[in-house]
């Protein structure tokens, strides 16, 4: 039964969670224990690079390919300054850029035919079936997770899950009241280019702080669960079967 449950969780979980769980499976309870005098095996570390897939995205986020990180940061900063500070409209900006691109390509091709020069080197503008399949698979995982949560809240009447989702949505609404959507995306880009690098460098110290914080949160949650949540009237299993 445990093997079947693990396989079901693997199917429902996104790829980054599977990578993190694989890199974390070799750790034991004493992974963060400082080395004693007789220990010869160093403390294992989570591979942040493998947790992000170990590909180009991981190289950019961890600044192993600094050119990609610089381009991503410069592009995000330029777009944020244009649309947030200068007040440009995204729709008008995209339309003007496409219009300028089409005009340049048209006159380039026209002059090339008159002067016997090569045509503009345009790539094959189409999405392959493999790329579309990967995108669809990732979307399917996230949509299934969202539908599973909605099913547990509405039909399963999972009060604890409802409170978690409610707090998360309230936090998003609270953040959205201070920043615009574009600013939130820009902050997300900055965090994605800084947090993974810091965690990869100071992983041991961060894990210790997170462990202490997790214990405090779990203690407070148990108190709320014992004093409030367990006293709320919930439908019995017989009532659920009748429904």
How many helices and strands, by DSSP H and E, does the chain display?
12, 0
pLDDT digit string, tens, across residues 178-211? 888 888 888 888 998 888 888 888 888 888 888 8
* Whether the predicted pLDDT of 53 surpasses 90: no
Give the pLDDT band (50/70/90) at residue 163.
confident
Single out the residue of 212, 221, 125, 211 nearest to residue 167, CA to CA. Answer: 221
Q: How far apart are CA 158 and CA 163, in angstroms?
A: 9
Whether the predicted model's global pTM rises above the 0.85 cut:
no
How does DSSP assign 167-191, residue by residue? HHHHHHHHHHTTS-HHHHHHHHHHH
pLDDT value at residue 235 = 55
Q: How far apart are CA 93 and CA 175, in angstroms?
A: 27
Q: How far apart are CA 40 and CA 35, in angstroms?
A: 8
Q: What count of other Cβ atoms lies within 10 Å of the Cβ of residue 55?
A: 9
Give the pLDDT band (50/70/90) at residue 120.
confident
pLDDT value at residue 42 = 46
Q: How far apart are CA 70 and CA 243, in angstroms?
A: 57
pLDDT digit string, tens, across residues 189-198? 899 888 888 8
Percent pLDDT > 70 in the chain is 74
């Amino acid at each position: 039964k445990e093997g079947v449950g693990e396989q079901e969780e693997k199917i429902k979980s996104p790829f980054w969670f599977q990578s993190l769980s694989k890199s974390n499976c070799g750790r034991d309870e004493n992974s963060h224990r400082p080395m004693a005098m007789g220990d010869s095996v160093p403390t294992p570390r989570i591979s942040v690079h493998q947790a992000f897939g170990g590909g180009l995205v991981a190289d950019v986020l961890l600044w192993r390919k600094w050119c990609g990180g610089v381009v991503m940061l410069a592009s995000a900063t330029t777009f944020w300054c244009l649309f947030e500070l200068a007040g440009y409209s995204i729709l008008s900006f995209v339309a003007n850029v496409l219009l300028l691109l089409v005009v340049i390509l048209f006159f380039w091709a026209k002059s090339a035919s008159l002067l016997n020069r090569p045509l503009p080197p345009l790539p094959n503008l189409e999405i392959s079936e493999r790329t579309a399949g990967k995108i669809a698979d990732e979307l399917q995982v996230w949509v299934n997770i969202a539908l599973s949560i909605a099913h547990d809240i509405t039909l399963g009447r999972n009060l604890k899950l409802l409170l978690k989702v409610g707090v998360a949505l309230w936090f998003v609404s609270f953040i959205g009241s201070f920043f615009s959507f574009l600013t939130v995306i820009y902050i997300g880009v900055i965090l994605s280019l800084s947090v993974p690098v810091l965690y990869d460098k100071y992983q041991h110290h961060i894990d210790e702080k997170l462990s202490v914080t997790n214990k405090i949160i779990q203690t407070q949650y148990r108190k709320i669960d014992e004093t409030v949540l367990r006293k709320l009237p919930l439908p019995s299993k017989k009532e659920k079967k009748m429904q």
